[in-house]
Structure 1
Amino acid sequence: MVDPTRGVLYPERLPTFHRVAPEGATAELVEWFWIPEWRLPADEVSRQHVVGYPAVNLVVERDGVGVSGATTRASFRDLRGEGWAVGALLRPAAVGALLDDPAALVDGIRPFAAPDLHDAVAEAMRSGEGHRARATEAFGAWLTARVGVLDDAARQANALAVELLGERGATSPEEATTRLAVSVRTLQRMAHRYVGIAPAAMIRRRRLQEAAQRVRDDPGVDLSRIAAELGYADHAHLTRDFRAVLGFAPSDYRSDAGG
């Protein structure tokens, strides 16, 4: 599992936050579970900035269940009062079983009818010590029962995500087609059906997340070096990508993040 703060622009501002690895059969359906918990003073707001993974999330909160699509831009959420969420970053095999058209959900969120899932996870979150483990266990049990047995197409879709989003992922769609032994058209069709965005967009988001993490974690690193190591044409290309998605330059982000 990647660094738990990957994709979170200002991790020091997080409430209590955990990423939990799935176990057993759930590992074919969930990349990881994520659980924020917060209790804030009445007059305090905690704004959480995220450059999200190009993936679908199924999220249980106190007031219901929602499903959010892959994102193409940075976003934020303001936390107030007291609350929690238990989210599952879904692997493509799960997306194919739960959604007919994930592309229609890109940069959006909608309610998801799963009252039994909500009740099981909410009960676990109220259960005291060990509640997070019980919540993810209940979530995983519901999901594996809902999805059922995976076919070859679902497993191939999971392999696509590994090649496009993994730590040693492909640097271009063409490289991914070679690794997966599929045509460019097949790669595009799988990405649309199981993720909702194009393969090139998935690669760009992975690269930008890694660039942001390196800028934040190593204040002294040369930005031109980051650009070269991650496949950007040059420093200016990296800066344009930052501005297009995040709204600011990497140098500004480094200063704001404490570098």
Structure 2
Amino acid sequence: MRLPRARGGAFEERYWTPVNSPVLGEDGQIQYLLHCLEDAAARGSRDAEQQAERERLVAESERQRRIYETALNSTPDFVYVFDVDHRALYANDALLKTWGVTDVRGKKWMDLGYEQWHADMHDAEIDRVIATRAPIRGEIPFTGTNGRRIYDYIFAPVLGPDGEVVAVAGTTRDITDRQAAEQAIRDQAERLAGSDRAKDEFLATLSHELRNPLAPLRNSIAVLQSSPDPGKSRPVLGMMERQVNHLVRLVDDLLEVSRISRGTFSLRVERVDLASVIR
């Protein structure tokens, strides 16, 4: 089509795209046609702009996808999404490795190596999240490519624009080593409590043993004070000497306990006379 230019009075050649649209009456029959002409150059420019915008959005979406996937795949925790029919939509690299698969899309729990009871439990939990729109948390053992481990997991609802649950997202963390460390701490605490009880029993017994030599010592002293014959005192003195030595050994034992409690106790290797130890 040749059109006059706005200035100069000359003509320019333009291309137009015709568009014919039927206009229907109440009976559904065509009453007339609506004929429109669209400047092809302007349309081409508009199409090019729209295409450029689409390409920009695709590039931005791809950039965001790479960012999110890098973040999700850099964590040792498991990240995954299941639809409302209990079929997997996504799993990060750590979980794919544990499941021993390269793609999880469309798979259910049983397809991923779960036992029946385990699959039934997670199916029921997904249904509960969908029904309540609230997250749930639990701990469970699972045997994957890295052996039997203990996992802590959370299922959370993914809500659509209308507020309905459209998927269930989950994160899972391996807590096997943490539980082992906690158990080691509990075992150590029990051992320390046992040591304290043994020490208390030892001190109680030692206190009782310390009292036993005191009575004969007091009585011996009274006999010596009342006896005018020194010859008769020798047996009593011998007995007193033995009791005193016994007390000295008991006190030495108490000192050893004190050193153990303060952490200053040390063992020393030396030769001893076995007969004297037995006596």
The alignment's TM-score, normalised by the length of structure 1, stands at 0.21
More helix by share: 2
Higher relative CO (Cα under 8 Å, sequence separation at least 6) belongs to 1
The alignment's TM-score, normalised by the length of structure 2, stands at 0.20
Radius of gyration: which is bigger? 2
